[in-house]
Structure 1
Amino acid sequence: MGMKPQPVEDAPLGYLIHNPYENAPLTALVTLNGHVISDVEVTVHPKDDSGVSITYLVDDMRIMDEGGVPIFGLYPAHLNNFTVKWTENSQQHSHDYQMLTPDIDMGFSESQWAKAPLVEVEHVDTDFKDRLYFVNWTNPDGKTSQLMHNNLEAPGAFSWDGKPGFFIIDTAGDIRWYLNPYTTHNSKSFDTAGYAMGMNVTKDGNMVWVQGQGWKKMSLMGRMISEHSLPGNFIDASHEGMEAANGNIFIRAAAKDYRRPDGMLVNTIRDQIIEVDNTGKLVDYWDLNTILDPLRDAALLSLDAGAVCLNINASHIGHQTTLEDLKNAPYGDIHGVETGRNWIHVNSIDYDPKDDSIIISSRHQSSVIKIGRDKQVKWILSPKKGWSEAFADKLLTPVNAKGKPLNCNEKGLCSNSEFDFSYTSHTAYLVPEKGTLTVFDNGDGRHLGQPMFATEKYSRSVEYKIDETNMTVEQVWQYGKQELGYEGYSPVTSIVKYQADKNSMMSYFASAGLFGLGGGYGNVKMDETTGVVKSILVEHRYGET
């Protein structure tokens, strides 16, 4: 027999459980001890005068689902104070609780100099003080050697691995939630190793992410709702795991044992889009090797060889990729033309229910592309250079606010206009509320070349309006070119996404100062009429760990 847990003296409900599912160390559960309660409200109080309180309502069904009151937003290494209010037998009740939490441990690596990202808050508008930001990164810890053979340039992207670093911060810069990397990741196991990426919060408040050879769905309290391996013919998921309204998940993956037209057998690289249902069953897939052109090299030839996403080499900074580089690149996760190399590098997926299509962002084609369920290209947002005749009528024509075509050359440089295409972009997401598309324009290889001076580079958050009938694109808003310049240049990763609740854009310049300090992020408020930025609502900068 074991000792039955008991509530502390004078506790009006049940006992407390810290981290009930072992996956989220800054959560807790107030058990019920037979009480039937409703109209629950929780407030986690700030740790000091500069802190931020978190208050939320808990649905009655959620109370029954959890078996108690879920507590989210505790501080690490702190004796937390939180208040639970509820109704029972038509009477209102309130009780103050305390719980001590452990310190943060998101894993450690050789290059690390702090236990977690250090956040410095630079500015917060009053209306945004209650904002929370979900950030994900990965901490490579070198433990995949137990699963790897010794060929570092072997085919496939399996070697990308590291401790997952998912965390939530408030507008004071304090971490209020993080994922336990030791329970959700194991470098010694094929199924649980991998680079945890593409975390998306679903409409029901849960989270989905991809990790190496599978994908996961988990509640904010840490309850693992489902874990699935990739369908049998696919490998190496990363960058995007997006849940559509029907509950299906769109994942960017690769194909194993792929037979090219020339007979060569390869593992493909970051060029397959798969759709799976909530049981993990394959519903559909898009093989981009057959839909697009793996030989197009116009964007690949413009890359800075030192900052190719996921293959960053400081010794090659400033070296522009050459045709010889592309042709002689080994097969595997190396940028280059042809199936079996990283020729497209899709890094985001969105789904358009209006016409049952997907929208992808391709870093290594410097393109945003819409593709239908029939696997036919609907449109391409990209400079014209390098696209074959088969895609000529799919290229969008840039126009001004009056719908007049702009004068743009084949490399995308448009005269007498602020319009620009996106280059080595990292995300492309629809804004259904506005009928627009946001793209994070990383900006490497802008106008399909390298500038004379590296300090001329910049990254942007940009919003486009696409007319699919007339096959035109208008730029309606941008941020970063003038406001941040080279200081905000983020050669890899990053995101921009519209936030409807406060009509703002969340921009994350994730790799600004790639080999120094990390990125900044926040909500940018813009004037809806002029598209001019009115204020930076939240701005953070953090040191890389």
Structure 2
Amino acid sequence: MPGTPFGHIVHNPHENAPLTALVTLGPKAVKSQVASAKVTVHAKPGGVPISYDVSHTTMQSEGGIPIFGLYPDYHNTFTIDWKDADGKSHSHDYKMMTPQVDMGYSQGQWAHHPTIDVKKVDPDFKDRLYFVNWTKSDGKVGVLTHNTPDGHGAFSWDGVPGFFIIDTAGDIRWYMNPYTTHDSKDYENAGYAMGMNVTDKGNMIWVQGQGWKHMNIMGRMIGEHSLPGDFSDASHEGIQIRNGNVLIRAARKNYPLADGTLVNTVRDHILEVDMNGTLVDYWDLNEILDPLRDAALLSLDAGAVCLNIDVDQAGHQATAEDLASFGRGDIHGVETGRNWAHVNSVDWDPEDDSIIISSRHQSAVIKIGRDKEVKWILSAKKGWKGELADKVLTPVDKRGRKLDCDENGKCNNTDFDFTWTQHTAYKVHEKGTFSVFDNGDGRHLEQPTFPTDKYSRSVEYKVNPKKMTVQQVWEYGKELGYEGYAPVTSITKYQADKNSMLSYFASAGLFGIGGGYGNLKMDETTGKVKSILTEHRYGEQEPAVRIDINSHAMFASGYRAQVIVIDDMIK
């Protein structure tokens, strides 16, 4: 590029992020010639521009100026403003064509990608970027399985990676290449890509089948790690904690039962590994909790047992005999070797070096210490026995007065409710509270007379561990009714940068929005899954943001969403 210290534009430099590019440093550039730079990707008509600063160190690390936020299938314009070593300002414009979004194709697909319908964005949230994790299969996945015939765990659960970032105009500005980051025939690269979280260095970590991956926003794969040798089947959560290590929800290979039978366990171990992938510690929930507790399992809708959706079983419930006699493997049921826990999120509390887990199939949020002792359980009382029963929190009002709640979790004369088959439980460190997404299946340990009475909520609790009490301080979702009922997946998470609460009703409409519970046939015109993303100013009831994300393929649905702050990702 004559007259500049830059070389040429490289599209998708690492092959993993097709809406990125790199403007290389030219042969005449010296190390200090470009002291700093600012990139602006200009908006399409009606769109949102993206701007960010690039440090000298980042330029050297990436080998040029990283370009993030290009529109797909578009002749993009972007500007690099830069300063030389003498502090003199310069500006150069560039154009680049990009490919259409391709996140894989399958039978029953009617669009290239999930479609975005922006309902509301307040001006002070206009700059938001949302990372979205979508799930679907393509007929080629799930070809591998473990070699334990009596209980092969969750290995065969597989899907096409669906990672993308949207802006508040509803445009996709980044997505991950599924063809370079996933291979259903490869032991190390099969599995669903799930549980993405941003590290303290601004990079991305996620779990995928038999390992976890570490990549930056430009698609440069920093590390690909196998699970430690005795463990398998990572999904749902990979999160870096403040000591720099990573917590992963996984399972155990060849676990001996009391009768000597070896099984692979299902979604019931928490691993702590360092950034090299070395095991630091682990929590075996079969030893810490009660794999025979069936109170919540008996109340589940058998058609929506995450992750194995079966619309033919919608509305049915398993009996106690079923739970005890089902074959072992990734199926809900009691006893080790079945999906009795289904942990779908993990967090860490540095105040007392404890983990916080969400156990979907126990309808419980549980805090567990480094010593593997349970500190408290947020759940209805029914079915908890012995020492675990003593750890169940007592609901109170804002004055600390005990609420009138029965063992099934029904509370009179109050808005307080427990969470039911919930997803995600995170500590809000800035507030000293906990945010949870209450999916709402099996609410009060029963199925309602009319399934359309179901609803989901984002909810925030305050726990007093000394008094062993819990208070509900905020909720949102009842207002949406059945439209917002998300039987599986989803997330609620506090956002410190805007003092706000993100909610993602990821599987709303799984059984048909507006068509009644019997509308189980999903196609282009009926029963689309409609994920609902909202963001609320802290404590408010009216959302500042609402964006609906509609499915593009039969039985495809959202998994999680996160806020992306681009200044944290490119520095």
TM-score (norm: length of structure 1): 0.95
String of CA shifts for 1:116-145, please: whole Å, max 9, x gaps.
111111111111111000001222122246
**Is it true that 1:538 corresponds to 2:558 in the alignment?**
no
| 2:145–2:152 CA contact under 8 A, matched in 1 | no
> Residue 517 of structure 2 aligns with which residue?
none
Candidates 250, 257, 260, aligned match of 1:260 = 257
Structure 1: any 5+ residue segments left out of the alignment? 1-6
CA root-mean-square deviation: 1.6
- Alignment counterpart, residue 378 of structure 1, candidates 375, 379, 387: 375
Which residue among 449, 453, 466 is the counterpart of 1:452? 449
Q: Which of 520, 524, 531 is the equivalent residue of 1:520?
A: 531
CA distance in 1, matches of 2:117, 2:393: 41
**Pairwise CA distance, 1:321:** 2.0
Task: Please list, as runs of the form range in 1=range in 2, the aligned pairs for 1:316-335 lying within 5 A after superposition.
Answer: 316-335=313-332
Q: Does structure 1 retain, via aligned residues, the 8 Å contact 2:116–2:549?
A: yes
Q: Distance in 2 between matches of 1:153 and 1:340?
A: 9
Residue among 259, 279, 282 paired with 1:282: 279
Q: Which of 47, 58, 80 does residue 62 from structure 1 map onto?
A: 58
Check if 1:82 corresponds to 2:50: no
Aligned residue-pair number: 533
**1:148, distance to aligned residue in structure 2 (A):** 4.4
For 1:137 and 1:115, the matched residues in 2 are separated by 13
Which of 232, 254, 260 aligns to 2:229? It is 232
Q: Is the 8 A contact 1:128 1:538 kept in 2?
A: no
Q: How does 1:187-266 map to 2 (within 5 A)?
A: 187-266=184-263
Distance 1:153 1:51, change over 3 A: farther
Instruction: Determine the C-alpha separation between the residues in 2 that align with 1:370 and 1:81.
Output: 49
Question: 2:481 maps to which residue?
Answer: 485
- Secondary structure of 2:542's aligned partner: strand
Deviation, structure 1 residue 153: 8.9
* Alpha-carbon distance, 1:463 to partner: 0.2
Report the Cα distance in structure 1 between the residues aligned to 2:357 and 2:283, rounded to whole angstroms. 11
CA drift at 1:58? 1.3
Which one of 508, 517, 522 corresponds to residue 504 of structure 2? 508
Contact 2:502–2:536 (8 Å) recurs in 1: no
What is the CA distance between 1:154 and its match in structure 2?
5.3
Task: Note if 1:177 corresponds to 2:185.
Answer: no
Any residues of structure 2 matched to 1:435-474 within 5 Å, and which? 435-474=432-471
Aligned 8 A contact 1:170 1:176 in 2: yes
Q: Deviations over 1:303-360 (max 9, x none)?
A: 0011110111111111122112212211000000000000000000001111111000
Identity over aligned pairs, percent: 65
5 Å-filtered alignment, 1:353-372, equals 353-372=350-369
> What is the CA–CA distance in structure 2 between the aligned matches of 1:54 and 1:485, rounded to whole Å?
35
1:269 pairs, out of 266, 270, 283, with: 266
How far is 1:150 from its partner?
Answer: 12
Distance in structure 2 (CA, Å) of the matches to 1:184 and 1:536 = 35
Q: 1:305 aligns with which of 283, 302, 311?
A: 302
Against the structure 1 CA distance between its residues 291 and 146, is the aligned structure 2 distance closer, same or farther, given a 3 Å change threshold?
A: closer
Moved more, 184-193 or 332-341: 184-193
Aligned to 1:403: 400
CA contact (8 A) 1:119 1:541 kept: yes
Q: Distance in 1 between matches of 2:89 and 2:22?
A: 20
CA contact (8 A) 1:160 1:194 kept: yes
Question: Counterpart of 2:423?
Answer: 426
1:490 & 1:184 partners in 2: Cα distance?
28
Does the Cα contact within 8 Å between 1:303 and 1:444 map onto a contact in 2?
A: yes
Residue type matched to 1:52 in 2? V
| Partner residue of 2:337 out of 324, 330, 340 | 340
In structure 2, relative to structure 1, the CA distance for the partners of 1:476 and 1:512 (3 Å cut) is same
Q: Distance in 2 between matches of 1:195 and 1:301?
A: 27
Decide whether aligned partners of structure 1 residues 544 and 428 sit closer, same or farther in structure 2, where only a CA change above 3 A counts: farther
Q: Is the 8 A contact 1:153 1:333 kept in 2?
A: no
Contact 2:146–2:152, Cα closer than 8 Å, also in 1: no
State the AA in 2 paired with 1:524. Answer: E
Contact 2:536 2:544 in 1 (8 A): yes
Whether 1:20 aligns to 2:13 is: yes
Match of residue 129, structure 2, among 102, 117, 132: 132
CA distance in 2, matches of 1:360, 1:535: 27
Residues of 2 paired with 1:297 and 1:94: CA distance?
65
Separation of aligned partners in 2, 1:523 and 1:311 = 26
The AA in structure 2 aligned to 1:441 is D
Between stretches 24-33 and 133-142, larger displacement belongs to 133-142
Cα distance change on mapping 1:84 and 1:532 into 2, 3 Å: closer
- Aligned-partner residue type, residue 528 of structure 2: L
Residue 519 of structure 2 is matched in structure 1 by none
Q: Distance in 1 between matches of 2:245 and 2:115?
A: 36
Superposition deviation, residue 147 in structure 1? 2.9
Q: What is the DSSP-based 3-state SS (H/G/I as helix, E as strand, rest coil) of the residue aligned with 2:6? A: coil
Which residue is equivalent to 1:73? Answer: 69
Answer with 104-113 or 213-222: which moved more.
104-113
Q: What is the CA–CA distance in structure 2 between the aligned matches of 1:62 and 1:139, rounded to whole Å?
A: 35
1:103 to 100, 103, 115: 100
Give distance in 1, aligned partners of 2:232 and 2:415: 41
Which amino acid letter does the alignment assign opposite residue 24 of structure 2? T
The answer to whether the 8 A contact 2:195-2:206 is kept is yes
Instruction: Please state whether the residue corresponding to 2:404 is helix, strand or coil.
Output: coil
Q: Distance in 1 between matches of 2:149 and 2:4?
A: 58
The answer on whether the counterparts of 2:347 and 2:426 sit within 8 Å (CA) in structure 1 is: yes
Query: What's the secondary structure of 1:327's corresponding residue?
Result: helix
1:149 Cα deviation after fit: 8.5
Question: Contact (CA 8 Å) 1:524, 1:533: kept in 2 or not?
Answer: no
CA distance in 1 between partners of 2:393 and 2:535 (Å) = 27
Letter in 2 for 1:279: N
Distance 2:506 2:293 in 1: 28
Match of 2:47 in 1: 51
Contact 1:462–1:478, Cα closer than 8 Å, also in 2: yes
For residues 182 and 539 of structure 1, what CA distance do their matches in structure 2 show?
28
**Quick check: 1:29 aligned with 2:22?**
yes
